[in-house]
Amino acid sequence: MKKMLKLVVLIPALNEEKTIATVIKAIPRKIEGISKVLVLVVDDGSTDRTVQKARLAKANKIVSHKGNKGLGIAFQTGLDTALKMGARIIVNIDADGQFNPKDIPKIIAPILQDKADVVICSRFLDKSLESKMPGIKKFGNRLFTKIINLFTGSHFTDTQCGFRAYSKEAALRMNLFAKFTYTQEVLMDLSQKGMRIEEVACKVEGKRNGQSRIVSHWYSYGIRALIIVVRSLRDYKPLQFFGIIGTIFFLIGAISAFILWIRLILIHQIDPFMWIVYTDVILIVLGFLLIILALIADLVDRQKRIQEEILYRIKKKEIEKIQ
């Protein structure tokens, strides 16, 4: 088995010429339990000397997008390429230097011990290792984490961190759609598929040294990430997503209508609240339709799971042929 345990360190990069070489050179090339460590850089349309710096730092493989396609697409390109390179474990690390490559052995340890399929670097699991972070960013991270925990039944402490390790099985099981980012969608996708996910506390630098940014403002990131989370909830938890909304609308309309009915019995008059009657009818009908939609979406979700299992087996066979 040791001969087959090849580790591919995936580094998505966009205009990181100042730090990419430092990150690559700091990646440990000899790790206990790993036969070979390879470095894969996915250049997402950089306009500076990121590719040249990565090549000089002796990255094993560099894949370049013709233009900036987004972190989510760069990550998917990296996963596909790493699997074709024969990876049994894939570690994703940022190119800006905020993560310490020396923590890679710590990140992959639960996978090597067969205790996990995915391991996340958590910036909040160990208070003594917490780095300084703007209050608004910390609030946003905790908000997204609570939402994902609520719908996955998990107890994650950090769902935004991109420093992660994936087993070959987890990489093959992933089916992602988001172009902007992937961190939240991965957790919802793999949690639903029964993958074992663990967190490991690591020290993370608070200051980014690279020039690239996913977005220029925190509120822009928050809005776009929230859209991804909502879409993921719709796709991975359709019964709860539509069912909860439908039930809320139906109950509001029904309770309001019941109160008006009691009022009608007592004083034999609805006016001046006739507009509420129309609103209640709309809420009750809309709630009922959403509940029906939830049942239909749940049926579609079962078909999707069957299709994903077929896709997984096809991808697995293709990778086995290449290797």
Q: Rounded to whole angstroms, how far apart are CA atoms 107 and 203?
A: 12
Of 236-240, 285-289, 312-316, minimum mean pLDDT range: 236-240
Q: Examine the domain organization and report whether 230 and 258 are in the same domain.
A: no
Q: Examine the domain organization and report whether 165 and 69 are in the same domain.
A: yes
Q: Examine the domain organization and report whether 154 and 283 are in the same domain.
A: no
The predicted pLDDT at position 198 comes to: 95
Share of the chain above pLDDT 70, in %: 93
Q: Examine the domain organization and report whether 167 and 217 are in the same domain.
A: yes
Last residue of a domain, one of 214, 235, 256: 235
Confidence band (pLDDT; 50, 70, 90) for 213? very low
Can you give the CATH number for the domain in which 226 is found? 3.90.550.10
189-196, Cβ contacts within 8 angstroms, sequence gap of 24 or more: 189/232, 189/236, 190/117, 190/118, 191/152, 191/153, 191/154, 192/152, 192/236, 192/237, 193/308, 195/117, 195/118, 195/169, 195/170, 196/115, 196/116, 196/117, 196/118
Confidence band (pLDDT; 50, 70, 90) for 211? very low
Query: The domain containing residue 306 runs over which residues?
Result: 238-322
The predicted pLDDT at position 294 comes to: 95
Q: Examine the domain organization and report whether 97 and 131 are in the same domain.
A: yes
Query: Which two tokens mark 142?
Result: 């905790």
Q: Which residue has the higher pLDDT, 104 or 214?
A: 104
CA nearest neighbour of 92 among 107, 110, 73: 107
Q: pTM here?
A: 0.81
- Quick one: average pLDDT of 267-274? 86
Q: Examine the domain organization and report whether 205 and 249 are in the same domain.
A: no
Confidence band (pLDDT; 50, 70, 90) for 183? confident
Confidence band (pLDDT; 50, 70, 90) for 288? very high
CA distances from 322 to 145, 184, 191, 264 (A): 38, 30, 28, 75
**What are the beta bridge partners of residue 91?**
9, 165
Q: Examine the domain organization and report whether 200 and 283 are in the same domain.
A: no
- Quick one: average pLDDT of 54-71? 94
Pair 246, 287: CB distance under 8 Å: yes
Q: Examine the domain organization and report whether 166 and 225 are in the same domain.
A: yes
Q: Examine the domain organization and report whether 195 and 310 are in the same domain.
A: no
Q: Which residue has the higher pLDDT, 184 or 241?
A: 241
The predicted pLDDT at position 65 comes to: 94
The predicted-structure confidence for 99-157, as pLDDT tens digits, reads as follows 999 999 999 999 999 999 999 999 888 877 777 777 777 777 888 888 888 888 889 99
Last residue of a domain, one of 184, 219, 235: 235
Q: Examine the domain organization and report whether 258 and 221 are in the same domain.
A: no
Number of domains in the chain: 2
What values do phi and psi take at 117, rounded to 5?
-105, -25
Last residue of a domain, one of 235, 257, 275: 235
Q: Examine the domain organization and report whether 104 and 245 are in the same domain.
A: no
Q: Examine the domain organization and report whether 270 and 198 are in the same domain.
A: no
